[in-house]
Amino acid sequence: MTARSVDRSVTVQSALVLHPDRSRRDDLRAAEARLAEAVGLAEALDLRVVQALVAPLRAPVPATLLGAGKVAEIAALCAELSLDVVVVDDALSPVQQRNLERAWQAKVIDRTGLILEIFARRARTREGRLQVELARLAYEASRLVRTWTHLERQRGGFGTMGGPGETQIETDRRLIAERVARLKRELAEVRRTRTLARRARRRVPFPTIALVGYTNAGKSTLFNRLTDADVVAKDLLFATLDPTMRRLKLPGGRPAILSDTVGFISSLPHELVEAFRATLDEVKEADIILHVRDIASAESEAEAADVRAVLGELGAGEEAGQRVLEVWNKIDLLPDDAREFLAARARRDGGAVAVSAVTGEGIERLTERLAALVDEGPLLTIALSASDGEGLAWLYRHGRVVSRESGVDDGLVVTARLEPAALAKFEQLRPSALLAAAE
């Protein structure tokens, strides 16, 4: 294959990481933090990052993305530091990529290429590997197509058509198309098996809990801590591309199934969102979502916002009616007063638990909260008469009211969760209230 975006030979090479700063005002994350993330991604690829910088980008230049001055400046750096690779933390068109490679005399990798390569290395299950391979081929195919039109235009200028270049590209495109078709067949087969497995699991009445979180938040570490499993936790981004399932024993002896999922990152290249989607089905179907956050990170809020946005896009999370418990992880990294403040806030809040997956602090409280959530019972739809303020107050006291709206005849339709004991009591108190399981 001729157009591999990143080849194996990059592994021990020295690199410069460049973050073009487009400074949109809606962007929560500072350019420096974005740069740090890109450096983390490059290091996860075993690149030796010798220089990292932010390049303000006010007016993108079609041919090179960056302005001529910046291109020259980087060219000088490449020569001075004998750099092999320049990582541009933005999407580059194939033409831009090639022009920059020529100007800098170094291999240029854009953000999509970088993430694809990382995904390829981290994929653990067959499905994950197939998904990544497909995404990578789609990326390559788009480069080939665009390379092709570009060459065609160039050649047109010289009045020649055809030639070995063209044939090579056509061959590549055919090979890619064949490979895509084969991968899709394999993927369909793997997915069929997985759907069967999921169906079998659904017959077992174990509640399922899915871990989600920004990359490096500590999902794998928490997963191990909770299940004593030995999924390797490394200080590498994307240690987990595929969901991994383990049995989890909650206080009270009730078993649940815990699944570890892929780490989210900011501005996931859209080519990769599809590859994510299937893997994240587990999240959509989970009874409870554990949103693991690195609460010691300076970017904790922005990261959490990214994760919620991705969940929303997938039709999962709080907006989709799922129960989400936040795990404020890495409290061991905080000074004592900040740690106590957070733990108190989490307790008051009810929707969060502060823990350290490494030291084990707070883990007991987390499993207790999980057990309580699991026992909270199913989501119920309850119809009350408009005058039944007492019934409504009872539901607020003994259950968790999720929503209330007006129903027929001025009545009230309440959606709430009730533990089995509370449900039995409510049925005695209001035998005529229409009850239906909403999920």
330 binds ligand GTP (CB under 6 A): yes
Least distance between ligand GTP and beta carbon 128 (Å): 12
Q: How far is the CB of 138 from ligand GTP (least distance, A)?
A: 23
By CB under 6 A, the count of residues binding ligand GTP is 23
- Contact set for ligand GTP, span 175-234 (CB under 6 A): 213, 215-221, 233-234
Nearer to ligand GTP among residue 102 and residue 234 (C-beta): 234
Using CB under 6 A as the binding rule, the residues of this chain from 260 to 289 that contact ligand GTP are 263
* 16 vs 354, beta carbon nearer ligand GTP: 354
Q: Of the candidates 333, 392, 401, 435, which one interacts with ligand GTP according to CB under 6 A?
A: 333
To ligand GTP, the closest distance from the beta carbon of 24 in angstroms equals 25
Choice between 52 and 237, CB closer to ligand GTP? 237
| Least spacing, CB of residue 119 vs ligand GTP, in Å | 11
Residues 6+ apart with CB under 8 A from 23: 31, 56
Residue 36 in the binding site for ligand GTP (CB under 6 A): no
At 66, give phi and psi (nearest 5°): -85, 160
Binding-residue pattern over the window 346 to 375 for ligand GTP, x denoting contact by CB under 6 A: ----------xxx-----------------
Binds ligand GTP by CB under 6 A, chosen from 80, 235, 409, 410: 235
**Where along the sequence are the contacts to ligand GTP (CB under 6 A)?**
213, 215-221, 233-235, 237-240, 263, 329-330, 332-333, 356-358
